[in-house]
């Protein structure tokens, strides 16, 4: 069979008998061709892990392990997971809890889990300095100080974060607090309050994950053409309620999504990385970069079937020569294509008792006038500055690009502390991007406010607390923050680009709080 008749055959097989019918024919097929039935998979709600609770003490046991998952029909993909073959449980704790998270590394490689979005002691952060050897264990203990929010956890192994997250070492971490009960919003986990972890993957013909295979994937970060939602290829969610709260996490290594529904319906953004927005923001599109979270309220009272998509135009390159070249290259590589993510079938939905809120719970915000100092953070791609871009890249042996990804002119060094911050002293970071592509900039141990983008105020959905901000080419974002509660002159926290390939190649620095 040629490719075309193979595809038509697939369609027929699917239409008649469902996906199982594909299995016997699997040997004909390349992995890429195995998505003939879009939305044929059911949405999966990851298990909720509330730990073992005694009063305010909550204990979690997390086993990092190797596994196998059938993402594609008739194919097994070797994976990594946490208490599961791929990915991990959705952890749940409350503000004020004392959590302990025992992480057992049952894989064959050194690894570590980082608690992304949390304010915690540096030694509990789960950064590269807390790496766990194969067979080893490490326990993080800290008080949950966040307001209700959607955080996450993922591998942060030095130089290996990209490939370990790609294979599955990531999950969601939900925080609740006492005030949330006063809000009339959907909050039944798995019913009308749903985690939506979006990741993009490529597969080899044998079903294994295809991580970086060529130079542009190093430069732009690994993008894949198959979308997983909670570890399932473009699933269908049977909505149980006419108002859905989707906790969307961009858990992808590098892909930026421009989220929208196929019918362009409006939806509300009620929370960003660090919790609720001051006010719900009604939008039709939302750009979400790797590491960022957004809680969305989606009204499906019309009981239609809708598709959550990523639209073209998520990629912004600067308009100089380099930027034009970069944009074309990324377009050609499929880094900015339109993609289907999730279908929501509301035909069976029950009428929700919740209404779309206007007022939310106001986050505690700082006053910029209280800032005591400001820092300059310059994100660069070393070889791109002058006219040497192509020459510089091509001359590098073995496709490596060490020294290319820098912050303030330096690539990451585990043994170098880049600066000290003072506890309880508000500061402003001015983060500039002089490279031709976008970078999602993340800071550990803090939830900051975005004051300005290039001197202008930010859109409503960016007025809440954040720990990751997408910085466009030729853009300077001003961030206001304070490091509270903890100081430790020896153990650093990280700040870095959350494009994991950029991070692994050096676009990261570290600071201590004293
Ligand atoms: Cu989500 Cu330093 O990471
Ligand atoms: Cu983090
Ligand atoms: Cu980057």
Q: How far is the CA of 428 from the centre of ligand 3 (A)?
A: 21
CB of 247 shorter than 6 A to ligand 1: no
β-partners of residue 247 are 195, 295
User: Which residue CA neighbors atom 1 of ligand 1 most closely?
Assistant: 116
Overall CATH class of domain 368-513: mainly beta
Ligand that lies nearest to the alpha carbon of residue 117, given by its number in the listed order: 2
Residue 468 CA: nearest ligand 1 atom is: 1
Strand order of the β-sheet with 339-345 is 236-238, 339-345, 305-310, 257-261, 286-288
Query: In CATH terms, is domain 186-345 a member of 2.60.40.420?
Result: yes
CB of 439 shorter than 6 A to ligand 1: no
Overall CATH class of domain 41-182: mainly beta
Ligand that lies nearest to the alpha carbon of residue 439, given by its number in the listed order: 3
Tell me, what's the pLDDT at 216? 84
Kindly report the pTM of this predicted structure: 0.91
CA dist 268 and 281 (Å) reads 5
Residue boundaries of the structural domains of the chain: 41-182, 186-345, 368-513
Q: How far is the CA of 498 from the centre of ligand 1 (A)?
A: 6
User: Which residue CA neighbors atom 3 of ligand 1 most closely?
Assistant: 116
Contact 455, 482 (CB under 8 A): no
Instruction: Confirm whether 41-182 and 368-513 share one CATH topology.
Output: yes
Q: How far is the CA of 294 from the centre of ligand 3 (A)?
A: 20
CB of 496 shorter than 6 A to ligand 1: yes
Q: What integer is the mean pLDDT of 13-35?
A: 38
CB of 129 shorter than 6 A to ligand 1: no
Q: What is the DSSP string of 428-476?
A: EEEEEE-SSS-EEEEETT--BEEEEETTBPPPGGGSS-BSEEEE-TTEE
CA dist 45 and 190 (Å) reads 6
Is pLDDT of 5 > 80?
no
371 pLDDT band (50/70/90 cuts)?
Answer: very high
Q: What integer is the mean pLDDT of 402-411?
A: 90
Ligand that lies nearest to the alpha carbon of residue 473, given by its number in the listed order: 3
383 pLDDT band (50/70/90 cuts)?
Answer: low
CA dist 33 and 6 (Å) reads 9
Q: Which residues surround ligand 3, an ion (CB under 5 A)?
A: 439, 497, 499, 502
């Amino acid at each position: 069979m040629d490719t075309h008749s193979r595809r038509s055959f697939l369609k027929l097989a699917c239409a008649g008998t469902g996906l199982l019918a594909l299995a016997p024919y699997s040997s004909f097929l390349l992995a890429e061709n195995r998505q003939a039935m879009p939305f044929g998979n059911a949405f999966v709600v990851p298990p909720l892990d509330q730990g073992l609770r005694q009063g305010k003490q909550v204990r979690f046991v997390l086993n990092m392990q190797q596994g196998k998952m059938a993402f594609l029909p008739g194919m097994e993909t070797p994976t990594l997971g946490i208490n599961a073959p791929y990915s991990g449980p959705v952890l749940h704790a409350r503000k004020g809890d004392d959590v302990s998270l025992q992480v057992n590394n049952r894989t064959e490689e050194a690894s570590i889990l980082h608690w992304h979005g949390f304010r915690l002691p540096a030694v509990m952060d789960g950064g590269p300095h807390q790496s766990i050897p194969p067979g080893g264990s490490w326990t993080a203990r800290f008080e949950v100080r966040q307001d209700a929010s959607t955080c996450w956890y993922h591998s942060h192994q030095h130089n290996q974060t990209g490939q370990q997250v790609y294979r599955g070492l990531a999950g969601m971490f939900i925080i609740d607090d006492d005030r949330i009960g006063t809000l009339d919003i959907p909050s039944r986990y798995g019913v009308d309050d749903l985690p939506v972890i979006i990741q993009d993957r490529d597969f080899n013909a044998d079903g294994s994950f295809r991580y970086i295979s060529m130079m542009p994937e190093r430069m732009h970060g690994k993008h894949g053409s198959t979308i997983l939602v909670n570890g399932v290829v473009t699933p269908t969610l049977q909505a149980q309620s006419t108002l859905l709260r989707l906790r969307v996490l961009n858990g992808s290594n590098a892909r930026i999504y421009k989220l929208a529904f196929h019918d362009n319906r409006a939806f509300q953004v009620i929370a960003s990385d660090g919790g609720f927005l001051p006010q719900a923001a009604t939008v039709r599109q939302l750009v979400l970069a790797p590491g960022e979270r957004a809680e969305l309220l989606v009204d499906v009272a019309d009981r239609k079937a809708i598709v959550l998509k990523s639209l073209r135009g998520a990629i912004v390159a600067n308009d100089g020569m380099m930027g034009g070249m970069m944009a074309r290259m990324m377009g050609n590589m499929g880094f900015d294509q339109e993609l289907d993510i999730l279908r929501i079938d509301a035909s069976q939905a029950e009428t929700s008792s919740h209404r779309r809120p206007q007022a939310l719970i106001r986050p505690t915000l700082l006053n910029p006038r209280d800032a005591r100092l400001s820092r300059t953070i310059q994100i660069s791609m070393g070889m791109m500055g002058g006219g040497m871009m192509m020459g510089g890249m091509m001359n590098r042996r073995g496709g490596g690009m060490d020294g290319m990804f820098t912050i303030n002119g330096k690539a990451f060094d585990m043994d170098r502390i880049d600066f000290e911050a003072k506890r309880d002293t508000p500061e402003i970071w001015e983060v500039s991007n002089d490279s031709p592509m976008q970078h999602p900039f993340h800071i550990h141990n803090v939830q900051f406010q975005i004051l300005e983008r290039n001197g202008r105020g930010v859109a409503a959905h960016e007025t809440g607390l954040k720990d990751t901000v997408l910085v466009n080419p030729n853009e300077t974002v001003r961030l206001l923050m304070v490091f509270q509660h903890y100081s430790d002159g020896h153990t650093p926290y990280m700040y870095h680009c959350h494009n994991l390939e950029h991070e692994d190649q050096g676009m990261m620095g570290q600071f201590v709080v004293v």
